[in-house]
A and B are shown apart, each in its own frame.
Chain A
């Protein structure tokens, strides 16, 4: 072993992030992932730019006159006031404070008060890689080592033609990780949602098992399938999401289970943006009929179920864990938390090693 290696190892040990640092890092989300940030329908072409907080970062979202969506840091490079209070000029944003104009790639196009100023031509506003999928704007939140976005392969339920889907969006005033805990906890369906139109069947006791997948794991009831909310699948495939299925009652008609693809995007430490795609693998007249029933009768019933989740979790803040006493049904939650901590630790170590921590 040479001296240089010994020194490197010593440094790596001394800078290893503590559990507290890992948890603090996670409070505003895991980086190097795609996250849905807002339903597409909220951002109209040419309309006023919109300011929003996601992963603890202030963002301005706007759609140019050609219809393309842009997501940028919500700060004018001149005096750092929000660009979202500015004007959408169709192909650029104009700050309302001193008229500084910023293009969709973050370049300062014009400083009207001082033409020729060095700020002109400078790429001074961070621009986030973004794309629209299944009615939502997805944005890449890379750390200092991963500013370029990898291709994103969305969940097939959102893009494959054999699926039909509706996006349900909600602002939840709670820490983002508890929404994932909730999704990885199928047993709450049997109790919290016992009176819902979908989750009234099955045993109130269960033994759970985990099953690995290439990009995550299943947490499922042993010996019970397609009866109630029987399983959840956690996926980390360029984005963090959970898939689950719930059998419909007869009134839901033919076409199989009701599926959910859920994301909970951190807004800040204590708020999240919930994206629940309600999906069904259904085609032809069955697809059309489900969509008609959904829009007319089913949507408020599904919303009622989601509200039960929101109400039980409302206001939970980071640190809940220290008051818990978990049991076997929480194995999925425990595994999920451990996984997120591992990923956060890995990112912190990489940043520190590169001198960017």
Chain B
């Protein structure tokens, strides 16, 4: 195999702009999906802590569905399946405003909410019940007890797995290329098929993916360090 790499190809024409745009789309997807997953995941974890059997079963069903179906299939179901159930005017609107990005955010966000809620639940279960009772005895409402006492401690315990799953959200945004979202993997394929400089393009995007992933992992490690419970 002969290797003659020519990275200057990547600076030609519109390619730099494409790549930058692809990276921006990728990061937007990650940020929005993470936000959706974090908010919904917290709600689901809290719902599962309530005494209602119905709530618990509904959350369990939600989690099992999203953890046992491939994310690509979930994306397809949202992108191809759900719009066909909606009225035509909504479909037209979704197509006009670029539905694929929106559906990718929804699919990835809803799926990862299941994972994040399980992380948080693991953290919540590790907090002794007395903590909750003590904060209620001090006069905090249920919500305040959760917000000020329980969740901060649970989040600290759940942090390592939550960081892993954040990396997973980031990596899985690449699946959005399958429904035509112009994120980094999609752009990489486009440039490759135009320029035929396979190694150069794929090397660049692989390095970008790896760099962002390592950055998230390092950020997580820094957070862990910062919020570690100090003992003497």
Our verdict on whether A and B bind, yes or no, reads no
Q: Which residues of A contact B (CB under 8 A)?
A: none
